[in-house]
Amino acid sequence: MAVVVSAAVAWLGLFVHNLADLPGQDLLSVETLVPTLVTAVLVAHWFVRPIRRAVTWGLLVWAWLSLIGGVISVLPLDILPYEPAQTPVHYGFHALYAATQVPLIVVTSLWLRDTRRDPQPEKAPDAADE
C-alpha cells in the first residue's frame, strides 16, 4: 500500500500547489483534472496484478515528470509565462510540490528493485511453507 499512499501524497502536492498558487484553479481545471485522471488511472491499475510492474514504472515516470516539470517551470526562461509572479511564495509552493513527488519516486524505485530480485513477490506463502 506504500505505492498507493505515496501516489496520493504526490497528487496532493500538485493539488495544493494548483489551488494555492495558480489563479482561479479548482479540481475541474485542466491543470488539475488531467494530472488527477492520470494519477487515478495509474493507481487503479496498480491493483491489477498482471500489469502491476508496468503500472509501477508508469507511476515512477509520472513522479519524475512532475518533479522535473515543477523545477523547470520556475526557471527564468523566456519561453515560460510569468503568471503567477515568480515570488518566494511561488517558489515555496514548487518546493512543496517537488518534495511530495520524492516519496513516490523512492517507493516505486524500491518496489521495482525488490520485485526484480524476487520474481514472484506477490505469491502468498503456502500453508506447507510455514
The pLDDT score that the predictor gives to residue 109 is 96
* Cβ-proximal residues to 18 (8 Å cutoff; 6+ apart), any chain: 25, 29, 31, 32
CA–CA separation, 43 vs 61, rounded Å? 13
CA–CA separation, 40 vs 34, rounded Å? 10
Is the peptide bond prior to 125 cis by the omega test (within 30 degrees of 0)?
A: no
The pLDDT score that the predictor gives to residue 130 is 47
The pLDDT score that the predictor gives to residue 82 is 64
The pLDDT score that the predictor gives to residue 100 is 95
Q: What is the pTM of this model?
A: 0.80
CA–CA separation, 120 vs 95, rounded Å? 37
Q: Tell me the three cell numbers of residue 59.
A: 507511476
Question: How many angstroms separate the Cα of 109 from the Cα of each of 5, 12, 57, 120?
Answer: 14, 20, 8, 17
pLDDT tens, the chain, 130 aa long = 899 999 999 999 999 988 887 777 777 887 888 999 999 999 999 999 999 999 999 999 999 999 998 888 777 777 766 666 677 888 888 899 999 999 999 999 999 999 876 655 555 555 554 4
Question: How many angstroms separate the Cα of 106 from the Cα of each of 11, 22, 42, 45, 60?
Answer: 15, 28, 17, 19, 9
What are phi and psi for residue 17, nearest 5 degrees? -55, -50
The pLDDT score that the predictor gives to residue 80 is 64
The pLDDT score that the predictor gives to residue 89 is 82
